[in-house]
A and B are shown apart, each in its own frame.
Chain A
Amino acid sequence: DTAVSQTPKYLVTQMGNDKSIKCEQNLGHDTMYWYKQDSKKFLKIMFSYNNKELIINETVPNRFSPKSPDKAHLNLHINSLELGDSAVYFCASSQGWGGRTDTQYFGPGTRLTVL
């Protein structure tokens, strides 16, 4: 009965490859997010989707493309992977649209290593 799940948990790949990370939430939430946590442990928001529509798109390379097939899923596709993409990627969800009182529920993270 995991609330927010991500697959895979670990992803090791070569530079230049294309990879996807999947995220699913079973909380019935309206909004989903992707965060990147770098080696210095700073957690930074990348995207958020509300009811399948993009509402936050921080400054990330356009090699990163989120896809929301339905309200319960938000996948992250990364093209032409680079060494600097190595990080832990967290998916999260919240009931509302990300307002001041919204509480986010995070997934377990996907550790991406680009060689």
Chain B
Amino acid sequence: LAKTTQPISMDSYEGQEVNITCSHNNIATNDYITWYQQFPSQGPRFIIQGYKTKVTNEVASLFIPADRKSSTLSLPRVSLSDTAVYYCLVGEVGDMRFGAGTRLTVKP
């Protein structure tokens, strides 16, 4: 069961780049890393997924070092609407655990 560790909270300001790091020391060889975003009173929403190196989409980038024991979600130029909880997940759905996530607060 792959366990993940993230900071409980982070603050940022509009227009800044935000990097949220997740530790997953016991990641299995076949595991992918998936990030979800959850706004208050809504269900989680898929942001990005990767296996190694770097993945980029229209919303974020995901950086994964060679040892894959951690990953960093990068949100470029955040806005107030990016205030949410961000979850890092590893493994199969049945093995994944949504922990407390990282509560990102973007300030004006």
Contact = CB atoms under 8 A, between A and B. Distances in A.
A92 B85 contact: no
B42 A56 contact: no
A101 interface: yes
Interface stretch (B17-25, B59-67, B68-76, B97-105): B97-105
Interface in B43-90: 43-46, 49, 85, 87
Interface in A69-104: 90, 92, 94, 98-104
Main SS class of interface, B: loop
A105 B36 CA distance: 10
A43 B44 contact: yes
B42 A104 contact: no
Interface of A: 4, 31, 33, 35, 40-45, 48, 55-56, 90, 92, 94, 98-109
